Chain A
Amino acid sequence: MSRVNARSLLHAFGLLVVLAFALFPFYWMVSSSLKDQTDLLASPPVWFFRPTLSNYQAIFADQAVTGAVLNSLIVASATTFLSVLLGTPAAYALARFEFRGKADLWFWFISNRMVSPIVLALPVYVLSRQVGLLNTYWVLILVYLTFNLPIVVWICTDQFRSIPRDLEQSARLEGATQFDIFWRIYLPLGIPGVAVSAIFAFIFSWNELLYALVLITSQSLKTAPVVATNFMSGYELPWGKIMATGTVIVLPVTLFALVVSRHMVRGLTMGATK
């Protein structure tokens, strides 16, 4: 019996180690954001200190940070809305219609997800400069479709396939058009999948750095990750403000991610593992 107990305790200990490992950097960021400059620069670092909200007061008074969070919110919401608007009809077609080249088209949608932003950043920079889209919300909203549309199309195709066909057949007998069927039956019933894919699209867009770094040069349009990164220049780094900004960026998407945590693996592997 004692052997079993020892194993069980080892199991609990292992789980606690994993828990600490998973949360430590996040904890360290949040706790650092609550330190004043003296505690931050203490060597060795202090674990127990008088928490202060002064870093948060500083960043919420800083137009650069609040503006950047607002920019991120606008860009991520708009691109999420657009990818759901464009992606759900495509997912419906892939789920319910038969046509030539369907499998190839589906693979093409999915494989867009794997393309590195580094491949597209430069041509998108040159082209958007030519058409005057550089330094606008639009360029980010549009370029983020390259990774958001695949995720929306994939998750929603899967979701729409799971909706029973009898509903649509009876609707058709009553003279509903295909658009009615999509709009009145599939979209409302597919809301769970649509919501999950929208949350994924929002998280990916909110977290994006490379495109935002190179396609936006005007200070007032920079997104939150870029502004947080820009704190990292100069000699005396404002660590408290940096960690407070980091916390403000990470906290909302972490909460979103917890909502879709059950779908996390499927979302990240595009359903290769069920």
Chain B
Amino acid sequence: MSEAKPTRRHHLGYGRWTPFWFLAPAVFALLVVGIYPTLFALATSFRRYNITRRSDMLDGFPFIGFDNYLTVLSDRTFWDSLLLTGQFYLTVVPIQIVLGMAIALMLHRPGWGFLRTLTRVSLVVPLATTYAVVGLIGRLIFNRDFGVANQFMGWVGISSSDWLGNPTGAFIAIVVMDIWQWTPFVALIFLAGLSMVPVDIEEAARLETKSHWALLRYVQLPYLLPGLTAVLILRSADVLKLFDMVFVMTRGGPGAATDLVSIYVQRVGFKVFDLGLASAQAVMLLVLTIVLSRIYIRIFYREIEA
């Protein structure tokens, strides 16, 4: 890229405005469908704007400063849903990392070539499954009367329960479905990391030590750390977004047992139709997402940014 100094541009066969024409359609599209609605939400978040309340409309959706933000900040349910989202993250991600690592190591280990390939390819299935359909499958598997989860429990001597009907059971059920869907993602990232270890270094280390642990700790781990960071950040953005599967499985219930932040914000917006309040919540989520994506970009694309 470095040969393309602005002063030599005429040698490169394109004018000052050429890049603009190539970029304009995509940039314009994203401005219209992404940025404009975001700005609209930002503007709405400073107004009293409930479209089902006639008085708001008659008053011309009055400007009320930071009132909506103060309401959100003092709203217990919002904080509870954010806290629950955090709990969900802290439950699923460590399990996915441990299982993902174990699966990656098994897939990396030589031997059983065909079975290994088959297993690796099968990991794509959970990743591609429509999130809403994962929720449908979850409702069947965790059904109280004819769900296979209770059958499995029976095999190990645990009595049946109404998974989706009690708070702990429902939380466990969405955790299990998320682990099913996203562990393959973590495993494939770690597998990519393992395959980055130069073969001769790994061979030499295997001659040095019989300990798998030492091999993992001193040889493979450095190659796994970027993937681990990617997992931690991307999964947190995903968990903030998580809606489809939980909405289909539990609608946030029973009570508020699975009321993750996206489920709650959706309800305030589309059941209560308080746009001002919902926009304030959305803006706060967006700020959180922007912080996450800046961190992600900082870590992974540093060399390009420099």
Q: Is B30 an interface residue (CB 8 A)?
A: yes
13 CB contacts below 8 A, A to B, read A25-B126, A25-B129, A26-B137, A90-B25, A93-B23, A110-B297, A115-B34, A119-B38, A121-B266, A126-B275, A149-B29, A232-B139, A257-B127
Partner of A145, one of B18, B30, B269: B30
CA distance A35 to B180 in the complex (A): 24
* Residues of A close to B32: CB separation below 8 A: 142
Nearest A-chain residue to B102, judged by Cβ: A14
Partner of A209, one of B51, B189, B244: B244
Q: Is B146 an interface residue (CB 8 A)?
A: yes
Contact B293 A257, beta carbon cutoff 8 Å:
no
Please provide the chain B residues from 25 to 42 with a CB less than 8 Å away from any CB of chain A in the complex.
Answer: 25-27, 29-30, 32-34, 36-38, 40-41
Partner of B133, one of A21, A29, A42, A119: A29
Task: Assess A15 versus B106: contact at CB under 8 Å? Given A114-B289, A269-B189.
Answer: yes
Contact B140 A28, beta carbon cutoff 8 Å:
yes
Q: Is B279 an interface residue (CB 8 A)?
A: yes
- A222-257, CB under 8 A of B: which get 1 and which 0? 000110110010000001001100100110011011
Task: Assess A225 versus B106: contact at CB under 8 Å? Given A114-B293, A121-B269, A258-B121.
Answer: no
CA distance A21 to B102 in the complex (A): 13
CA distance A149 to B44 in the complex (A): 26
* Residues of B close to A11: CB separation below 8 A: 106, 109, 111-112
Chain A positions near chain B (C-beta within 8 angstroms): 8, 11-12, 14-16, 18-19, 21-23, 25-26, 28-29, 32, 40-45, 82, 85-87, 89-90, 92-94, 97-99, 103, 105-107, 109-112, 114-127, 142-143, 145-146, 149, 153, 172, 178, 182, 203, 206-207, 209-210, 214, 225-226, 228-229, 232, 239, 242-243, 246, 249-250, 253-254, 256-258, 261, 264-265, 268-269, 272-274
* Residues of B close to A257: CB separation below 8 A: 124-125, 127-128
Task: Assess A123 versus B41: contact at CB under 8 Å? Given A112-B34, A273-B189.
Answer: yes
Nearest CB in chain B: distance from A32 CB, A: 6
Describe A's contact surface by its main secondary structure: helix
Nearest CB in chain B: distance from A23 CB, A: 5
Contact A123 B38, beta carbon cutoff 8 Å:
yes
Contact A272 B132, beta carbon cutoff 8 Å:
no
Contact A119 B41, beta carbon cutoff 8 Å:
yes
Contact A225 B244, beta carbon cutoff 8 Å:
yes
Nearest CB in chain B: distance from A94 CB, A: 8
CA distance A222 to B290 in the complex (A): 31
Contact B290 A111, beta carbon cutoff 8 Å:
yes
Nearest B-chain residue to A89, judged by Cβ: B22
Partner of A22, one of B25, B41, B123, B131: B123
Nearest CB in chain B: distance from A123 CB, A: 4
Describe B's contact surface by its main secondary structure: helix
Contact A90 B27, beta carbon cutoff 8 Å:
yes
Nearest B-chain residue to A128, judged by Cβ: B37
Contact B37 A124, beta carbon cutoff 8 Å:
yes
Please provide the chain B residues from 132 to 188 with a CB less than 8 Å away from any CB of chain A in the complex.
Answer: 132-141, 145-148, 150-151, 154, 177, 180, 184-185, 188
* Residues of B close to A97: CB separation below 8 A: 4, 14, 18-19, 22
Contact B237 A114, beta carbon cutoff 8 Å:
yes
CA distance A136 to B18 in the complex (A): 35
Contact B140 A239, beta carbon cutoff 8 Å:
yes
Nearest CB in chain B: distance from A249 CB, A: 5
CA distance A142 to B128 in the complex (A): 22
Task: Assess A107 versus B297: contact at CB under 8 Å? Given A114-B237, A116-B285, A214-B270.
Answer: yes
* Residues of A close to B290: CB separation below 8 A: 111
CA distance A250 to B131 in the complex (A): 10
Contact B19 A243, beta carbon cutoff 8 Å:
no
Contact A117 B243, beta carbon cutoff 8 Å:
yes
* Residues of B close to A15: CB separation below 8 A: 106-107, 112, 115-116, 119
